[in-house]
């Protein structure tokens, strides 16, 4: 329980969050198989048809595998955490991290996703990483699936479109729960599970041109992920007593553009469509409002006997989410559109935006935390938040990222308000504590880190690490448990 008068509780988990495919590199080292992220090529902004480059067709996969399609694949290289994890973790420790969020790259453990035996070298790598974290008293927070579906599962089953993948996932989950039972207490089943509706390839290794009916396939694949998530939660509780399983959502708190009831109703619908994912995970059942959506879109979910019971019995222990922006919706076709990582909406005139057009809304974080806590009454964990920005390295090597400090300071201040409002918030891991490859654009120049990595969009650089001004600032925030912002 939190002490409402004090703000951040004593054991608050401060840290940073990453994903294997954006961080590690070494994409084919020590027996690792290819994953969905390894198929994502870098496309310079001028040549992009939209703001992201992550949805891949079956034809493109064939061209990549045959060598016909030549490109750079930055997520294969990451920022070389695979070889530099000791140096990087020492820097996290210097900032005082209590927790470090990372994902296990499924294809390091099961290179094809359904291999008879796990890959020992892959398991050993994460043993080393967890040991290094514990050396400094840093708690690992592990995402089982962060856009890294083994490509073998795409080729064989069209990824999560097939129910077969549930068993592959639970085997993978059981393997890592048993292996790391003394090392990892906090887990997340799927990163931003709602990604499936936006990029099925990213969210679940589903190549949508192989599906007969897009929406049907997406919601069926999600059903498979929900069941897999509940089964993994069951396994975790059996294997690691006292462990905590979380679900994870790209939370898009949505505002109505005006008080016109048409806008308000549309806004209610937008929020429901986003909260649907956490509703299933935290309440253990499909929300009623989805019945109409499914009926009107000719979606018929194929459930097996027992699925509903599995969802009901094995709900998550905490609800985690990313928070970068809010959305404003209008029932009118007029109005300038806003940009987001993958979401749209109209521009909110009260908000400034990042250089990538993401609308910055610290107060929205407080609103969202209250909404989520009222709805679920489960502990909340902000496992991603941050500002992607261009950084300038001065002649003496220093980096004055006051814009990043401002962004984080304002968001953390609103977290504190939410805690005072009564919200049970257990931790905060800002996105990309060390610069890493962008998920949506594969750029390196879109930087989130407290730690700068010398690497540019074309893959040039020494990979050397250096501290930005925000490094020293975040260290003070953690040391003062959020009192000094």
Query: Which of 33, 140, 388, 482 is the binder for ligand BG6 (CB under 6 A)?
Result: 388
Adjacent-strand bridge partners of 425: 380
**Cα end-to-end distance, the chain, whole Å:** 23
The window from 93-101, 124-132, 161-169, 433-441 that contacts ligand BG6 (CB under 6 A) reads: 433-441
By the rule CB under 6 A, 440 interacts with ligand BG6: yes
Q: Shortest approach of ligand BG6 to residue 195 CB, angstroms?
A: 7
Q: Shortest approach of ligand BG6 to residue 221 CB, angstroms?
A: 18
Adjacent-strand bridge partners of 322: 250, 384
By the rule CB under 6 A, 113 interacts with ligand BG6: no
Q: Judged by CB, which is closer to ligand BG6: 93, or 198? A: 198
By the rule CB under 6 A, 341 interacts with ligand BG6: yes
By the rule CB under 6 A, 438 interacts with ligand BG6: yes
- DSSP string across 228-281: HHHHHHHHHHHHSTT-EEEEEEE---EEESSS-HHHHHHHHHHHHHHHHHHHHH
Our CA angle for 413, 415, 419, nearest 5°, is 120
Q: Which of 77, 384, 424, 443 is catalytic?
A: 384
Beta-carbon contacts of residue 90 (< 8 Å; ≥ 6 apart): 136
Q: Please give the Cα distance from 85 to 204 (Å, whole number).
A: 27
Q: Shortest approach of ligand BG6 to residue 377 CB, angstroms?
A: 25
Is residue 131 classed exposed, middle or buried when 0-12, 13-18 and 19+ CB atoms within 10 A define those classes? exposed
Q: Please give the Cα distance from 2 to 12 (Å, whole number).
A: 10
Q: DSSP H helical segments within 34-189, as ranges?
A: 58-66, 74-77, 81-95, 106-109, 120-135, 151-157, 164-179
Q: Judged by CB, which is closer to ligand BG6: 27, or 286? A: 27
Q: Judged by CB, which is closer to ligand BG6: 192, or 361? A: 192
Q: Shortest approach of ligand BG6 to residue 143 CB, angstroms?
A: 9
Q: DSSP H helical segments within 37-119, as ranges?
A: 58-66, 74-77, 81-95, 106-109
By the rule CB under 6 A, 103 interacts with ligand BG6: no
The window from 232-240, 253-261, 278-286, 436-444 that contacts ligand BG6 (CB under 6 A) reads: 436-444
Q: Please give the Cα distance from 45 to 50 (Å, whole number).
A: 9
> Alpha-carbon Rg of the chain, whole angstroms?
21
Q: Shortest approach of ligand BG6 to residue 338 CB, angstroms?
A: 15
Our CA angle for 413, 417, 418, nearest 5°, is 115
Residues 392 to 431 in contact with ligand BG6, rule: CB under 6 A: 431
By the rule CB under 6 A, 149 interacts with ligand BG6: no
By the rule CB under 6 A, 250 interacts with ligand BG6: yes
By the rule CB under 6 A, 322 interacts with ligand BG6: yes
Name the residue whose CB lies closest to ligand BG6. Answer: 440
The pair of three-digit structure tokens given for residue 451, joined into one six-digit string: 């730690």
Number of residues that bind ligand BG6 (CB under 6 A): 15
Q: Shortest approach of ligand BG6 to residue 249 CB, angstroms?
A: 10
Q: Judged by CB, which is closer to ligand BG6: 271, or 438? A: 438
Q: Judged by CB, which is closer to ligand BG6: 14, or 356? A: 356
By the rule CB under 6 A, 354 interacts with ligand BG6: no
Q: Which of 144, 43, 64 is nearest to 102 (CA)?
A: 144
Q: Judged by CB, which is closer to ligand BG6: 194, or 271? A: 194
Active site residue 94: no
- 118: Cα within 13 Å, side-chain hemisphere: 22
Q: Judged by CB, which is closer to ligand BG6: 316, or 387? A: 387
Q: Shortest approach of ligand BG6 to residue 343 CB, angstroms?
A: 10
Q: Which of 67, 137, 144 is nearest to 99 (CA)?
A: 137
Beta-carbon contacts of residue 61 (< 8 Å; ≥ 6 apart): 39, 151, 154, 155, 207
Site of tokens 């679920």: 376
Site of tokens 């407080």: 366
Q: Please give the Cα distance from 408 to 402 (Å, whole number).
A: 10
By the rule CB under 6 A, 246 interacts with ligand BG6: no
By the rule CB under 6 A, 384 interacts with ligand BG6: yes
Q: Shortest approach of ligand BG6 to residue 341 CB, angstroms?
A: 5
The window from 82-90, 107-115, 180-188, 432-440 that contacts ligand BG6 (CB under 6 A) reads: 432-440
Residues 13 to 42 in contact with ligand BG6, rule: CB under 6 A: 19, 22
Q: Shortest approach of ligand BG6 to residue 342 CB, angstroms?
A: 8
By the rule CB under 6 A, 191 interacts with ligand BG6: yes
The pair of three-digit structure tokens given for residue 469, joined into one six-digit string: 């001004």
Query: Which backbone phi and psi does 188 adopt, to 5 degrees?
Result: -135, 135
Query: Which of 77, 192, 279, 391 is the binder for ligand BG6 (CB under 6 A)?
Result: 192
The pair of three-digit structure tokens given for residue 127, joined into one six-digit string: 């043993």
By the rule CB under 6 A, 326 interacts with ligand BG6: no
Catalytic residue numbers read: 384
Where does this chain bind ligand BG6 (CB under 6 A)? 19, 22, 191-192, 250, 322, 341, 384, 388, 431, 438-441, 446
């Amino acid at each position: 329980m939190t002490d409402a008068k004090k703000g951040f509780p004593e054991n608050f988990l401060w840290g940073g969050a990453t994903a294997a495919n954006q961080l590690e590199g070494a994409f084919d080292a020590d027996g690792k198989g290819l994953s969905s992220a390894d198929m994502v090529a870098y496309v310079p902004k001028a040549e992009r048809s939209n703001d992201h480059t992550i949805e891949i067709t079956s034809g493109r996969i064939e061209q990549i595998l045959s060598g016909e399609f030549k490109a750079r694949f930055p997520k294969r290289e990451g920022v070389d955490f695979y070889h530099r994890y000791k140096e990087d973790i020492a820097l996290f420790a210097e900032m005082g991290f209590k927790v470090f969020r990372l994902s296990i790259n499924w294809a390091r453990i099961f290179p094809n996703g359904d291999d008879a035996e796990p890959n020992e070298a892959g398991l050993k790598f994460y043993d080393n990483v967890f040991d290094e974290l514990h050396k400094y008293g840093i708690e690992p927070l592990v995402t089982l699936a962060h856009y890294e579906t083994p490509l073998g599962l795409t080729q064989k089953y069209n990824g999560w479109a097939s129910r077969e993948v549930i068993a592959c996932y639970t085997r993978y989950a059981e393997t890592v729960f048993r292996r790391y039972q003394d090392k990892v207490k906090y887990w997340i089943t799927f990163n931003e599970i709602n990604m499936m509706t936006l990029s099925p390839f990213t969210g679940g290794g589903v190549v949508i041109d192989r599906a007969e009916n897009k929406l049907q396939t997406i919601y069926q694949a999600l059903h498979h992920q929900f069941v897999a998530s509940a089964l993994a939660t069951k396994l975790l509780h059996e294997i690691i007593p006292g462990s905590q399983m979380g679900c994870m959502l790209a939370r898009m708190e949505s505002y109505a553009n005006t008080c016109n009831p048409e806008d308000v109703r549309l806004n209610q619908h937008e929020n429901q469509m986003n909260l649907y994912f956490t509703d299933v995970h935290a309440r253990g059942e499909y929300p009623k409002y989805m019945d109409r959506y499914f009926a009107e879109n000719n979606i018929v979910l194929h459930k097996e006997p027992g699925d509903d019971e599995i969802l009901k019995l094995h709900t998550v222990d905490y609800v985690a989410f990313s928070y970068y922006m809010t959305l404003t919706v209008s029932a009118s076709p007029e109005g300038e559109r806003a940009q987001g990582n993958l979401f749209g909406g109209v521009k909110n005139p009260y908000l400034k935006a990042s250089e990538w057009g993401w609308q910055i809304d610290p107060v929205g974080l407080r609103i969202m935390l209250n909404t989520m806590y009222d709805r679920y009454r489960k502990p909340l964990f902000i496992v991603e938040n941050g500002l992607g920005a261009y950084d300038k390295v001065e002649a003496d090597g220093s980096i004055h990222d006051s814009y990043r400090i401002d962004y984080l300071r304002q968001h953390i201040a609103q977290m504190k308000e939410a805690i005072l409002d009564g919200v049970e918030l257990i931790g905060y891991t800002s996105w990309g504590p060390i610069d890493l490859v962008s998920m949506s654009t594969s750029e390196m120049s879109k930087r989130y880190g407290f730690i700068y990595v010398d690497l540019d969009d074309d893959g040039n650089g020494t990979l050397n690490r250096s501290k930005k001004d925000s490094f020293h600032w975040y260290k003070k925030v953690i040391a003062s448990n959020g009192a000094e912002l």
